[in-house]
Structure 1
Amino acid sequence: MTQVRQAAIPRATRAPGAPWRVSLLTHRPAAAEEFYGALFGWEFGPGPGRRARALLDGQEVAGIGQSPPDRQFPAAWTPFFTSPDVDLTAHQVRLYGGTVAVGPLDSAGEGRTVVAADPAGAVFGLGGYAGPSAAPDEDRHGLPVWTELITYETGRVVRFYEAVCGYEQEPGTDGLDRVTLHSAGRPAAALRGAGRAVLRDRGAHWLTHFRVTDVEWALARVSALGGRVREPARDTASGRSATVTDPQGAVFAVLQAPA
């Protein structure tokens, strides 16, 4: 069996609100493993419950779980953020207009977790994991490197995440409705208000970005593996990125570091 090392969320802190892990809920996990293994070079090992661990060089980078067969959940990537007190944070989610969907509950090997939705309906998770920090300088093909909330407008949800996760905000300077959330002085996530351009079939949602060495290669590979290019590659301050879906419809982004 492949030895599993500490989860590889590339951040230097496990402070409240820091990124912890990303998890895919999908209808056909075996097909998802085949797709992401071919795209990112992941291998897979058993995880808690019905979840598999996606591994890169033996290091956990993501989780893949099966949707309940009696529920018509869309395939989706969900980011999890750290919480020093998951039960209290779940109470704050409700208090500030969000919804608790699952938990809080204890999971073997992962501590206490909860899955929730913000006031605009975007789903995210919280975990009380208190293990060692992930290495901040790791930046390899296939690693999750950033997460961004695509929502209708940022004002209300910024206040929600500040209250629930203790974030500080840094408004954008380009005149657009963009905010960067900071945890312990470090960027943790971004919020982008897209108004009516929010995808009609998804609504507000978190978008996980995975590092790729060549974004054009990645887009060709996604298409060849049965996925779809949703938004073509474009240059951003963080590098060249594009939004895609896997064959089961889960939306994610691929991001090539700036030259």
Structure 2
Amino acid sequence: MTTEATRRTPGTPCWVSLMVHGLSATQEFYRDLFGWDFIPGPQHFGPYVRAMIDGKEVAGIGQLPPDRHLPIAWTPYMATEDADETAEQIRCCGGTVGVGPLDAADAGRMAIASDPEGGVFGIWQAAAHTGTALFGTHGTPVWNELVTRETSAVSKFYQSVFGYDVEPVVSTEFDYATLHLEGRAVASLHGVGHALPRDRGSHWMTYFEVEDTEESAALVRDLGGHVLHEPREGSSGWLATVADPEGAVFTIVRSAER
């Protein structure tokens, strides 16, 4: 079912953005994979576009300066009513604010931060731009999950900063917790221990909805990307972990509700 989004409760993931070196080639990849169209967005970091489906904004892609060699990764943004206050809370709780807070033209105010384990995320104080405006259809973000070494310590950080209710999964086999706001699950934490990639460390994983996981995974390969984990059945549906040609890792999922 397709739904439109409105202004979010603080702490809710409200946007996903990607910074790359080859903006044109990356647009072509995601246009072919997800059917995205693109319009110009705020240029405060340089060239930046917003991805659109049926005239609704779903994600952002920007271009890194040639001399900046940052990890290429999808970054979720959490809604806030006061970016400066949230940034200060992040610092007080042991996190780091790497960029901002700063204004993105008339769209809103933002910052990019990392938790004590190094997981990078953004915060977004909405003005003209309230975030992702479409969910539940092919090519839209459907979930965000922090992949980290263990969840207990980092869950306290996110709980303190955003006021999440943390619901751990009691299991001897899994280290997993769901983050709730106002009784609604909004994101999750997944502790993978020594299986955490050494070259990546803790990182947020964005899930995108697709109509057919196998077809989309095959298309990722055809378009020059990589399939890191072949299509498999999970609790949320049929999913695969993939990477675009610049190495940005994300998960594609065919919802169990489809």
Fold match (TM-score > 0.5): yes
Give the direction of change, closer, same or farther, for the CA distance of 1:134–1:199 in structure 2 (3 Å limit). closer
Question: Of 13, 22, 25, which aligns to 1:28?
Answer: 22
1:10 CA drift (Å): 6.6
Per-residue CA distance 1:148-188 (angstroms, 9 max, x = gap): 00001111110000111111111114441100001222111
- Of 179, 182, 185 in structure 2, the residue corresponding to residue 184 of structure 1 is 182
Q: Which of 153, 159, 162 is equivalent to 1:162?
A: 159
The RMSD of aligned alpha carbons is 1.9
Q: Choose the corresponding residue for 1:102, options 94, 99, 102.
A: 99
Code of the residue aligned with 1:111 in structure 2: it is G
Whole-angstrom distance in 1 between the partners of 2:3 and 2:17: 12
Contact persistence 2:239–2:253 (CA under 8 A):
yes
Aligned equivalent of 1:140: 137
Q: 3-state SS of the aligned residue for 2:66?
A: coil
Show the 5 A alignment for 1:234-249: 234-249=232-247
CA shift, 1:74, in A, is 2.0
Cα distance in 2 for residues equivalent to 1:133 and 1:170: 26
User: Does 2:43 correspond to 1:45?
Assistant: no
Give the Å deviation of 1:9: 9.1
Shift of 1:110: 2.3
Change (3 A) 1:135 1:125: closer
Following superposition, the deviation at residue 107 of structure 1 comes to 0.8
**1:9–1:144 Cα contact (<8 Å) kept:** no
Cα shift readout 1:49-83 (whole Å, capped 9, x = no counterpart): 12101011111100000112211112110000101
Shift in CA distance, 77/253, structure 1 to aligned 2, threshold 3 Å: same
Gaps of 5+ in 2: none
Partners of 2:15 and 2:59 within 8 A in 1? yes
Distance 1:215 1:134 in 2: 22
Are residues 147 and 238 of structure 1, via their aligned partners in 2, closer, same or farther at CA, if it must alter by over 3 Å?
A: same
Secondary structure at the counterpart of residue 31 of structure 1: helix
**Partners of 1:9 and 1:61 within 8 A in 2:** no
Contact 1:11 1:19 in 2 (8 A): no
Unaligned runs of 5+ in 1: 1-7
Distance 1:10 1:240 in 2: 24
2:109 aligns with 112
1:84 Cα deviation after fit: 1.6
Can you list the C-alpha shifts for 1:2-21, whole angstroms capped at 9, x where unaligned?
A: xxxxxx99767611101110
The answer to whether 1:78 aligns with 2:96 is no
Residue deviations 1:131-150 (CA, integer Å, cap 9, x gap): 779778x4100000000000
Q: Any conservation in 2 of the 1:10–1:135 contact (CA below 8 Å)?
A: yes
Q: Say if 1:61 and 1:144, in contact at 8 Å, map to a contact too.
A: yes
Does 2:123 align with 1:121? no
Give the letter aligned to residue 148 of structure 1: E
Secondary structure of the residue aligned to 1:155 is helix
Q: 1:129 to 1:228 in 2, by over 3 A?
A: same
> How many Å separate the matches in 2 of 1:79 and 1:135?
14
Q: Which residue of 1 aligns with 2:231?
A: 233
Structure 1 runs of 4+ off > 3 angstroms? 8-13, 130-136
SS of equivalent residue, structure 1 residue 128: strand
Which residue does 1:5 correspond to in 2?
A: none
The number of residue pairs the alignment matches comes to 251
Residue aligning to 2:195: 197
Return the letter of the residue paired with 1:40: F
Deviates most, 248-257 or 198-207: 198-207
Percent of residue pairs bearing the same amino acid type: 50
Q: Distance in 2 between matches of 1:192 and 1:45?
A: 34
In the superposition, relative to structure 1, how do residues 73 and 134 fare at CA in structure 2: closer, same or farther (>3 Å)? closer
The residue that corresponds to 1:4 in the other structure is none
